[in-house]
Amino acid sequence: MATQDDALHRRLGLSDSVVIGLGSMVGAGIFAALAPAAAAAGSWLLLALGVAGVVAYCNATSSARLAALYPVSGGTYVYGRERLGPFWGYLAGWGFVVGKTASCAAMALTVGAYAWPEHARVVAVAAVAVITAINYVGVRKSALATRLIVAAVLVVLATVVAVCLFGEHGGAARADGEIGVRGVLEAAGLLFFAFAGYARIATLGEEVRDPRRTIPRAIGIALGLALAVYALVAMAVLLVLGSKGLAAYADPLARAVDAAGVPALAPVVRVGAVVAAAGSLLALVLGVSRTTLAMARDRQLPGVLAAVHPRYGVPHRAELAVGAVVAVVAVSFDIRAAIGFSSFAVLVYYLIANVSAATLTAAENRPPRAVPVVGAIGCAVVGLSLPTSSVLTGAAVLAAGAGVYAIRRFARR
């Protein structure tokens, strides 16, 4: 439990919470995840987006009910511990920390790829340093920065949609070959990478005012807005490039604007991608550091990480540690590998969240019975449909975390 000295301050209202969640979802995912998802799903990309949206809705609903009941930092780490037992809470927290650390690295690499491709990794490390510094000086400053970033990204995405809808469509090409159910599910898993931002709201439960009311509303609003934006952008880009063209490029939104007959706007889209990735990185580091704080308080991670800065009111040591690890991952792996691994680990995290929500009673404001069931099954099926390398790597890292837990438990006995 948090003491008076290490408790966080409740400074965030509904609008700040929505912006933090929206900033995590409507970020670099729309610039980075569409291409690999199109390669997997082909012309069924919109169906895959719908599957990802359904799973995300179930996860969001389960998370919202749990977050309102347990309004402290930690997200499913806390929910799993309280509803299922210490091990499941630990496994959820471990999956979140390692999965979202990979997400942070992917966002940093996206900044580098769009800003200065020849030195992408150097730029990625610099971006991590800047974002860590912003988060260090206070969560309200982070929320303000995220609000500005979200506004800029939405303007860029609206421009892309308008240009694609009213521009040239003659170059659109469909992907070759048959796309099966596995391809659609794999694409859904890759797209889920960009939907998981609502978890940032739940992990900020200790810093939100009136959490029982604010958290469920903020999660629902942020998820609905993100799904609408993703659907509009995907339809517009498919109209110009087709599924084959979309899958062929690492920078499909900039290519779409060029192919639609307005190449002068391509640099603007690239700037928007950098801003979007920075926004996602900002909110992701914010969430991972809060889960790290919660686990450190319970001595599941080194207790030194549980400190809260006396002036800024943030878990400063956790944020510095997360930033350092993200920088190392960014110089060691590529974007696609980071996305696949992150999606698998985070789907396990939400699998535990849905099972935890299924244990709620009517007095605890449980969700409709079908929601956690569909969410849990969806997480399992979509997660196992990801590329084999992602599944095997993710399973190995989770197993390693479980092994550490078992060793520590044995040592205590």
The CATH number of whichever domain residue 143 belongs to comes to: 1.20.1740.10
Neighbours of 6 (CB within 10 A): 14
Helices (H), 249-367: 252-259, 266-297, 316-330, 335-357
| Residue 413 counted as domain residue | no
Summarised one tens digit per residue, pLDDT across range 351-396 is: 999 999 999 999 998 999 999 999 999 999 999 999 999 999 999 9
User: Which helix or strand (DSSP H or E) is residue 108 part of?
Assistant: helix 86-115
CB 71 within 8 A of CB 205: yes
Which structural domain, as residue segments, surrounds residue 130?
14-359+369-407
CA 135 to chain centre: 17
Question: Would you put residue 313 in left (φ > 0), alpha (ψ -120 to 50) or beta?
Answer: left
Percentage above 90 pLDDT, the chain: 44
The type of residue at 132 is: T
Q: Which pLDDT value is given to residue 33?
A: 85
33 closest CA partner among 187, 148, 222: 187
CB 50 within 8 A of CB 178: no
User: Which helix or strand (DSSP H or E) is residue 129 part of?
Assistant: helix 120-136
CB 107 within 8 A of CB 281: yes
| Residue 9 counted as domain residue | no
315 closest CA partner among 330, 295, 300: 295
| Residue 412 counted as domain residue | no
Length, in residues, of the chain: 413
Q: Which pLDDT value is given to residue 2?
A: 47
Summarised one tens digit per residue, pLDDT across range 169-195 is: 877 776 655 678 999 999 999 999 878
Residue 153's pLDDT band, with cuts at 50, 70 and 90, is confident
Burial 175-214 (b: 16+ CB within 10 A, else e): beeebeeebbbbbbbbbbbbbbbbbbbbbbbbbbeebeeb
Tell me the three state secondary structure of residue 12: strand
Mean pLDDT of 10-38: 79
CA distances from 410 to 75, 397, 403 (A): 26, 20, 11
Helix, strand and coil content of the chain, in percent to the nearest 5, comes to 80, 0, 20
CA distances from 86 to 45, 148, 199, 276 (A): 39, 39, 20, 36
Tell me which of 177 and 130 has the higher pLDDT: 130
Summarised one tens digit per residue, pLDDT across range 192-212 is: 987 866 666 766 666 777 777
Show the tokens assigned to 189: 């898993």
| Residue 129 counted as domain residue | yes
What is the spatial distance between Cα 49 and Cα 221, in angstroms, rounded to a whole number?
Answer: 18
| Residue 252 counted as domain residue | yes
Tell me the three state secondary structure of residue 18: helix
If one counts the domains in the chain, the total is 1
Q: Which pLDDT value is given to residue 263?
A: 92
| Residue 177 counted as domain residue | yes
